[in-house]
Amino acid sequence: MTVKEQARKTGIAPTTLYSIIQRDAAIRFDTAQRISNVLDIPINSICKDNPYEDMETLPKLPSDKERLMISMEKKAYFSDRTLKIIRNFDYTELPTIDQLIAYFYVPDDAARKDVFEYLKIMRKNHSDSERKRI
């Protein structure tokens, strides 16, 4: 198999594969795993240091049923709480709300916590009595 074929099948950049072949770069375990899966060879023939020797350290992925339940719970929460708030905004404000949500999604957890703390201060000092009832 050529490097280009291997890159296409594994999703690993050809330059990364060339570096591994030339031994210019250390191979990461996840990269070795993808290569071993495509070549159908044991991972130990590529990478000796398996950080996941104890398979219990790998996170358990939710089953299809669990993913469906999570999705249903998100929809219920959104319609029960968030949608009631969103309906109070004027239609022209919705792009701003959408942008706010998109911006809030990007920062890490510490930054999100800081945003909440700032909003608590703003709410305390700049609340609209009509909107507070929602």
- Whichever domain contains 31, its CATH number is 1.10.260
Q: Residue 134: what pLDDT?
A: 59
Q: Do 53 and 71 sit in the same domain of this protein? A: no
Q: Which is nearest to 47 in space by CA: 60, 56, 34?
A: 34
Domain count, the chain: 2
Per the structure, the complete domain to which residue 88 belongs is given by: 64-132
Residue 70 · residue 79 · CB < 8 Å: no
CB 89 within 8 A of CB 97: yes
Same-domain status, 38 and 79? no
CB 12 within 8 A of CB 31: yes
Q: Spell out the per-residue pLDDT of the chain, length 134, in tens.
A: 888 998 888 888 888 888 888 877 778 878 888 888 888 888 777 776 555 555 545 556 678 888 889 888 888 888 888 888 888 888 899 889 888 888 888 888 888 899 989 988 988 888 887 777 65
- Closest listed residue to residue 88, CA positions, set 28, 39, 40, 132: 132
CA dist., res. 125 & res. 110, Å (int): 23
Q: Is residue 11 within 8 Å of residue 34, measured between CB atoms?
A: yes
Whether 75 and 35 map to the same domain: the answer is no
Spatial neighbors of 88 by CB under 8 A, at least 6 apart, are 131, 134
Residues 21 and 71 grouped into a single domain:
no
